[in-house]
Amino acid sequence: MKDDQMPWDADAGVGRDGSGRGDPAAAGKTGPVGRRNPYVVDDDVPSVNDTADVEDDAENDIADADDLSEAIAAETVRRMRMPRWLALLIAVIVVVAGAGGFMFHRARQGGSAVNCSASSDIDYCYGGFTPLEPSGDKLSMNAASDYFDTAVRPVYPADAALRTAILSGDLDAVHKAAATARDTTLRAARTLAARTWPDQLDKPIRGAIIEYQHRASIYGNVITNTDREAIEDLIFRTLSATRASSDIQRLVRTRLELDAVPEPDAPLAVTAVKDAGECQQLALIGDDDRTVTRRCVTLTVVSHVPANVPYLAMRLNLLDADGTTVATDLLASTPADVDDPNYIHDDGTVTLTVGINPRIVRSGYRLAASGWSVHTADDLIISDDYTATQAAAITPLNEFRIA
């Protein structure tokens, strides 16, 4: 590596946040024994007047799992009566289908595929629901706006509460918040499906219903999940802030003249930025750690993590005076405290420092937020990207210029 600003992924085997996990592309990762299948949501499409509790769906899910076991057993007996070459061919097909993510179960449901978030571990899986079909009284365009907004508005505070619980490190709180988020999101999907929509909204609303069912299936996973890395991956990556507003959501909300989808808040707030001049920092050059001269900038940050943690960081991009990107993935981080490792408290103020190769810095250059990360007391690294809206709202950073 050249004597240049250290990128976020200095080592090929290290994730963007230093966790050792690879970073999935973004525009902006063995469950407990006896755990029920939490990934099948709404197998039975309710009628317009269906008031069944969400817990009833869980019973249906367990019944489906039993049916699946019986079907596999019956299939095994049938294969014993087949010619050997045909049985071998079917065995190969079944293995391939299983590796693709429980496709046999999906075929039985006629619904969405089960997605395991680029992992073969069941703790990362979600999906497998039957899409709800809109029915009932037809809404006018005037009534559709208030109806949609009222139906989906509770989803986002429930999602925010789950993210806060994950940052707290309290697994019981995580499971309770996940159950609330799932129930709330399923209720939104069912409410949308309990009406027929104006023709110009019919297809977009069907897509929105599926999106809310998709979210509910992810929350359903977290309800019984004890793998903290899997939970972080599902909520802060699969449901990253940068994916909060889909094309479908933008289309529906534009036609209904509604505000954009609420974005989850980052757990830290920048209150001041200062040019600290030259400083000495360790840098990995080739295979060696060396002390090098950097142009340092300090960021004063207030933590909104509801726990005591050892480390906060931000990813930054360096922009020239015209706004052109000069360097990406610059790391601004807090120092370690050997005597008090978990010294960063909720609502506490800390300083993040970023060191920039002085050869690429010019007067008038500025920094833009790209992402954030929190290193928890139990060594979990939680991270996400800033959306364009979030980055634009960090006024102290956006107004700062290097002297």
**Pick from 4-13, 315-324, 355-364: least confident:** 4-13
Predicted local distance difference test score (pLDDT) of residue 255: 97
Q: Which residue has the higher pLDDT, 101 or 347?
A: 347
Domains of the chain, with CATH numbers?
54-239 (no CATH), 268-399 (2.60.40)
Distance CA 184, CA 386 (A): 25
DSSP codes, 14-76: S-TTSSS-PPPP-------TT--------SSPP-TT----HHHHHHHHHHHHHHHHHHHHHHH
Q: Which of 105-109, 119-123, 320-324 has the highest mean pLDDT?
A: 320-324
Distance CA 180, CA 190 (A): 15
Q: Stretch 114-129: mean pLDDT, rounded?
A: 78
Q: Which residue has the higher pLDDT, 34 or 304?
A: 304
Distance CA 140, CA 251 (A): 17
- 3-class SS shares of the chain: helix, strand, coil, % to 5: 40, 20, 40
Do the Cβ atoms of 53 and 143 come closer than 8 Å?
Answer: no
- What is the torsion angle, in degrees rounded to the nearest 10, for the CA atoms of residue 235, residue 19, residue 120 and residue 233? 0
β-sheet bridge partners, residue 196: 138
Which tokens belong to 49?
Answer: 């007047």
Q: What integer best gives the mean pLDDT of the chain?
A: 79
Q: pLDDT per residue over 159-203, tens digit each? A: 999 999 999 999 999 999 999 999 999 999 999 999 999 999 999
Predicted local distance difference test score (pLDDT) of residue 214: 96
- With pLDDT > 90 as the criterion, what percentage of the chain qualifies? 64
Please report which confidence band the pLDDT of residue 150 belongs to, taking 50, 70 and 90 as the band edges. very high
Q: Stretch 284-293: mean pLDDT, rounded?
A: 86
Q: Smallest Cα–Cα separation from 343: which of 295, 300, 316, 375?
A: 375
Question: What end-to-end distance do the CA atoms of the chain give, in Å?
Answer: 28
Q: Which residue has the higher pLDDT, 284 or 19?
A: 284
Q: pLDDT per residue over 383-403, tens digit each? A: 999 999 999 999 999 999 999
- Judge whether residue 17 has pLDDT over 70: no
**Pick from 89-98, 105-114, 120-129: least confident:** 89-98
CA distances from 289 to 228, 284, 302, 303, 388 (A): 32, 5, 31, 30, 35
Q: Smallest Cα–Cα separation from 64: which of 117, 114, 105?
A: 105
Distance CA 270, CA 367 (A): 12
DSSP one-letter code for 223: H
- Judge whether residue 222 has pLDDT over 60: yes
Angle of the 155-168 helix axis to the 199-224 helix axis, nearest 10: 20
Please report which confidence band the pLDDT of residue 119 belongs to, taking 50, 70 and 90 as the band edges. low
DSSP codes, 327-341: EEEEEEEPPP-SSST
